[in-house]
């Protein structure tokens, strides 16, 4: 069983409203989620000794989330990841988005779903957030009704995303939590063992836009089908880090996506999803300038993201999984974050 408590988290400037915090608690997990960006602000998991640590990067106060920061814990939309040159066509009409990560549009634009106040509804074992993204918001066509639901079941945090559109629009929703299974504030993730269930990945150009079809991971640095220790793996392959889409099973059913094991604490995170891809990101752009919870600083490689989603720039790449949502259809995807100890 899970319990849910709600409390004020902070006030938005110039009468923008009250941000609330919802604490979901089971015998194994405690998760804090705020109504600003549906953001996971804390996630406490026990280690094999039974000691709980917060394993997500973030801030103790609302001010931290309102400053320029790299999407810690937030829901990303209307379209997660990059859209090449911020342009796309739907049914012959061209749309132009803000270029907020030169030369592309990233994570929904200047004021994406991570930078808005959502309307919460408490459930018996979780919380559902909803909002209506108006026609033309951030340059996207049509009105989009969105529901993001977090529920807790023992050691599993389940995130469901639903959306309905008034006209054809690309939709790609994810959560951008940064994890460190040693506990947030630990200096790096090099001692984490990572497995990703993907036979192919998407090579990218220098602006991180996919080029061509998926490439086989076999014999490359992207072969994570068997566990690799991250630090050693990055060193062996002279990699700056990962920021790549791994292509998962094409099925709409729940499938295994990734497993991360932190041997020292025993903590394990397994990710399952209905999505066709996962962006594995190792915090390459973190630079230690942000002050996080309990005085933590977040240097490069101090957290990792497993952003389950459609493939980047799918709206411009016809051979990628379909990303357009049309009136009368429903976008419905779920990701499961399952925590345990080994």
Does residue 331 carry a pLDDT above 90? yes
Distance CA 97, CA 308 (A): 23
Say whether 160 counts as a known binding-site residue: no
Q: What percent of the chain has pLDDT over 70?
A: 100
189: closest CA among 296, 104, 298, 81? 298
Distance CA 216, CA 284 (A): 23
Q: Are 132 and 162 in contact (CB under 8 A)?
A: no
Mean residue pLDDT of the chain comes to 97
Q: Which one is catalytic: 44, 137, 193, 307?
A: 307
Say whether 27 counts as a known binding-site residue: no
What confidence score (pLDDT) does residue 266 get?
A: 98
Q: Are strands 200-201 and 215-216 parallel, antiparallel or unpaired?
A: antiparallel
Say whether 114 counts as a known binding-site residue: no
For the chain, give the longest Cα–Cα distance. 59
Neighbours of 61 (CB within 10 A): 11
HEC string of the chain? CCEEEEEEEEEEHHHCEEEEEEEEECCCEEEEEECECCEEEEEEEECCCCCEEECECCCCCHHHHHCCCCCCCCEECCECCEEHHHEEEECCEEEECCCCECCEEECCCCCCHHHCECEEEEECCEEEEEEEECCCHHHCCCCEEEEEEEEEECCEEEEEEEEEECCCEECECEECCCECCCCCCCCCCCCEEEEECCCEECCECCCCCECCCCEECCCCCCCCCCCEEHHHHHHHCCCCCCEEEEECCCCCCCEEEEEEEECCCCEEEEEEECCCEEEEECCCCCCCCCECHHHCECCCCCCEEEEEECCCCHHHCCCCCCCEECCCCCEEEEEEEEEEEC
Query: What is the rounded average pLDDT of the residues 298-304?
Result: 98
Does residue 161 carry a pLDDT above 90? yes
If one counts the domains in the chain, the total is: 1
Distance CA 217, CA 277 (A): 14
HEC string of 191-260? CEEEEECCCEECCECCCCCECCCCEECCCCCCCCCCCEEHHHHHHHCCCCCCEEEEECCCCCCCEEEEEE
Say whether 178 counts as a known binding-site residue: yes
Tell me: the pLDDT tens digits for 57-107? 999 999 999 999 999 999 999 999 999 999 999 999 999 999 999 999 999
Query: What is the rounded average pLDDT of the residues 259-282?
Result: 98
Residue 307 designated active-site: yes
Q: Which residues constitute the domain of residue 28? A: 3-341
335: closest CA among 163, 158, 173, 172? 158
21: closest CA among 2, 10, 34, 39? 34
What confidence score (pLDDT) does residue 251 get?
A: 83
Q: For the domain that residue 225 is a member of, what is the CATH number?
A: 2.70.98.10
**Where residue 252 falls among pLDDT bands split at 50, 70, 90?**
confident
Tell me: the pLDDT tens digits for 13-72? 999 999 999 999 999 999 999 999 999 999 999 999 999 999 999 999 999 999 999 999
Residue 253 designated active-site: no
180: closest CA among 93, 293, 101? 293
Q: Which one is catalytic: 176, 233, 261, 333?
A: 176
Say whether 30 counts as a known binding-site residue: no
What confidence score (pLDDT) does residue 295 get?
A: 94
Tell me: the pLDDT tens digits for 169-220? 999 999 999 999 999 999 999 999 999 999 999 999 999 999 988 999 999 9
What confidence score (pLDDT) does residue 1 get?
A: 80
What confidence score (pLDDT) does residue 260 get?
A: 98
Query: What is the rounded average pLDDT of the residues 161-171?
Result: 98
Say whether 177 counts as a known binding-site residue: yes
pTM of the model: 0.97
Residue 31 CB burial class (10 angstroms; 0-12, 13-18, ≥19):
buried
């Amino acid at each position: 069983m899970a319990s849910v408590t709600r409390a004020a988290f902070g006030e938005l400037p110039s009468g923008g409203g009250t941000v609330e915090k919802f604490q979901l608690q089971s015998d194994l997990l405690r998760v804090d989620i705020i109504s600003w960006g549906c953001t996971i602000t804390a996630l406490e998991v026990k280690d094999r000794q039974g000691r709980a640590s917060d394993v997500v990067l973030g801030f103790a106060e609302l001010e931290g989330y309102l400053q320029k920061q790299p999407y810690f814990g937030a829901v990303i939309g209307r379209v997660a990841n990059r859209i090449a040159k911020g342009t796309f066509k739907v049914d012959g009409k061209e749309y132009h988005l803000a270029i907020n990560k030169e030369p592309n549009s990233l994570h929904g634009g200047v004021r994406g779903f991570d930078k808005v106040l959502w309307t919460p509804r408490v459930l018996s074992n979780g919380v559902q957030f909803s909002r209506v993204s108006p026609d033309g918001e951030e340059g996207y066509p049509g009105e989009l009704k969105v529901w993001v639901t977090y529920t807790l079941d023992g050691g599993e945090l389940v995130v469901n995303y639903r959306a309905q559109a008034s006209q054809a629009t690309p939709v790609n929703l994810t959560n951008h939590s940064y994890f460190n299974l040693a506990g947030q504030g630990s200096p790096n993730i090099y001692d984490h063992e990572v497995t990703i269930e993907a036979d192919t990945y998407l090579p990218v150009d220098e602006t991180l836009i996919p080029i061509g079809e998926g490439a086989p991971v076999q014999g490359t640095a992207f072969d994570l089908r068997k566990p690799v220790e991250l630090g050693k793996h990055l060193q062996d392959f002279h990699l700056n880090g990962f920021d790549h889409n791994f292509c998962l099973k094409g099925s709409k059913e729940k499938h295994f996506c990734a497993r991360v094991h932190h041997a020292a604490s025993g903590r394990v995170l397994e990710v399952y999803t209905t999505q066709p891809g996962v962006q594995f990101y190792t915090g390459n752009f973190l630079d230690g300038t942000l002050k996080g919870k309990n005085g933590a600083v977040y240097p490069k490689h101090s957290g990792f993201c497993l952003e389950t989603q459609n493939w980047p720039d799918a709206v411009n790449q016809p051979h990628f999984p379909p990303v357009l949502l049309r009136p009368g259809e429903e976008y419905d995807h779920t990701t499961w974050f399952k925590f345990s100890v080994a």
